[in-house]
Structure 1
């Protein structure tokens, strides 16, 4: 991987709840957790088992003709397939039946019964499979937000983004590369909303994205049975080295009133942050009424006030 400064992700073995809460969690950095009992899913969840046990309910999936999915420019389509058919297709390198091309890639991010109202919960959407997985109790039950079932075609790479809640990525089967960036490196990631414009992390275009060279890339390789702790606001990008199955567990690490009550995906900014951004947008719109020289001057004053406020709070 070229461009950014490289760093490794810390690895912890045989972590229990107390070790996690006292030695891992307070660091507020990503951590690979190995040797934790996850149940029978690590041996059971083969393609055949998933397709027969998971049922044939319809699931909405992403389908792309290229391995790098781009959420900003939407280089994929949504299609609906029976779950058992989807699993078999996702595991194939080439397809006899397809929507776009013989080498198209598939990605499932499970949804609630009504995605506008309900969260993803593997115990409700895939109860027979949920019996196979043991989710470590690293947080209080009333903090639980969602358990997202994910399946990726081999070679599939997801866009770089952040989430507003802490989460555990449980890699049940298949190997996965994960690249992460600190929230403090947001200025170097060329963001549109919560997503980075930079898709190719292996050979990024540094002429188009020169600031990316200042970012620090934290990289790890997840093996089957590994877990990755991803703190809130840490950017992450995943690449499925093989057909892979995983479960993301999100929990509310802040008091509930910080979060948007209409958020069923766990990716809406905290309500106070959303309000602040709206106020900023209005302020910038107001500055457009001024001539260029004045607009530039007062925009710089706004930046200085924000910086002074942040530095005074030691953030």
Structure 2
């Protein structure tokens, strides 16, 4: 009996090229608008498994694409605005004291409004809380004894999420204040949990006595609006509020512990890669200049705020805040000048 014929070996199949889809076409346009060279882009695309000939054709066609040329026109307008901002920042930095955040007491209302509100310059006020009962009463133990039976909303499990502030609603947890106090006191330095302004606990009747511990407000504030425009902060050493800007002006008084505040002028927004809402991906503790090279041009102001001192945050200033100790803080935005502003924030999530 004859053996069955051995089938011929299959011919090797050439590896298929990765398709150059709409996502890659957008990538090409975006990176040309960033002024990446066609040569470097071709190398990246070929390394990703695409047909070199097709990539070369797409790169050449992009230079005459009418949609891309329209984008180039708008890019010129954006670059002009960025240059205006950069030049205004240069003028501000001619001030020899620009690099320092001033600490001041006994400032007149007129000087405060002209220099810091209208002049848009951060300052630490040393005498705002001089008669506040909170400075003598507030402590973690006081919170436990007086309010420990009440529920609060905290942020938790932050350490595992690099975007914990953007995703803050996902980290909300209900907990008895007494249990949270115990966790803070026993847990050491950490950024894993924090009771922040988003808890809105001061709107609860049970926490109203905390507002009674706030004494005389600065003359530039409207006391009748305090209850609606105040926030409470409590957490361990090590908590970090990442780099972002607020959409109004506020004061932030340190009651217990110290916080480190770092500021960057809103005129330097183009250096901070603000692609989503009011957040920057730059971490001032560990800036990644390979991903964010323009940040190297930014000027960072740095100050440690002690108990009893009040930071004034001007409109639009970028800031990153780190707790150096177990910290209790009180912030308020009832400033008696227009303090509602509109920002057209980007919503780009894929850069």
TM-score band, normalised by the shorter chain? Answer: 0.5 to 0.7
Contact 1:38–1:136 (CA<8 Å) still a contact in 2?
no
Larger proportion of helix: 2
Point out the structure with max Rg over C-alpha. 2
| Counterpart residue number, 1:196 | 280
Partner Cα separation in structure 1 for residue 197 and residue 287 of structure 2:
30
Mind listing any 5+ residue stretches in structure 1 that lack a counterpart?
96-102, 113-118, 260-268, 282-315
- Structure 1 window deviating more from structure 2 (207-216 vs 141-150): it is 141-150
Secondary structure of the 1:70 match is coil
CA distance in 2, matches of 1:142, 1:40: 19
Residues matched between the structures, number = 247
* Higher alpha-carbon deviation: 246-255 or 183-192: 246-255
Which ranges of structure 2 fall in alignment gaps of 5 or more residues?
A: 1-92
Structure 1 contact 62–107 (Cα < 8 Å) conserved: yes
**In 2, Cα distance between equivalents of 1:178 and 1:210:** 23
Answer yes or no: is the 8 Å Cα contact 2:152–2:177 preserved in 1.
yes
Identify the residue that residue 250 of structure 1 maps to in structure 2. Answer: 333
- 2:206 & 2:121 partners in 1: Cα distance? 31
The question of whether the paired residues in 1 share the 8 Å contact of 2:202 and 2:230 is answered with yes
- Among 199, 208, 221, the alignment partner of 2:291 is 208
Give me the whole-angstrom Cα distance separating, in 2, the residues matched to 1:175 and 1:181. 20
Deviation per CA, 1:227-264: give whole Å up to 9, x if none.
Answer: 000012111110000010101101366658xx5xxxxx
Partner of 1:295: none
Deviation for aligned residue 1:15: 3.5
Q: 1:89 to 1:16 in 2, by over 3 A?
A: farther
> Structure 1 residue 22: deviation in Å?
4.9
Residue of structure 2 in register with 1:13 after alignment: 105
1:53–1:94 distance in 2 versus 1, CA, 3 Å: same
Q: What corresponds to 1:228 in structure 2?
A: 311
- Cα shift at 1:74: 6.0
Highest RCO, 1 vs 2 (Cα 8 Å, sep ≥ 6): 1
Q: Is the 8 A contact 1:165 1:252 kept in 2?
A: no
SS of residue in 2 equivalent to 1:150: strand
Correspondence for 1:107 among 180, 194, 210: 194
Tell me what 1:239 maps to.
322
The residue number in structure 2 matching 1:85 is 179
2:27 aligned partner = none
Q: What is the CA-CA distance between 1:61 and the residue it aligns to?
A: 0.6
Which range moved further: 220-229 or 125-134?
125-134
Structure 1 residue aligned with 2:122? 30
Q: Structure 2 residue aligned with 1:49, among 133, 142, 148?
A: 142
**1:266-305 C-alpha deviation (Å, 9 max, x unpaired):** xxx62xx44xx69x99xxxxxxxxxxxxxxxxxxxxxxxx
**Deviation at 1:21?**
3.4
Equivalents in 2 of 1:21, 1:254: separation in Å?
A: 9
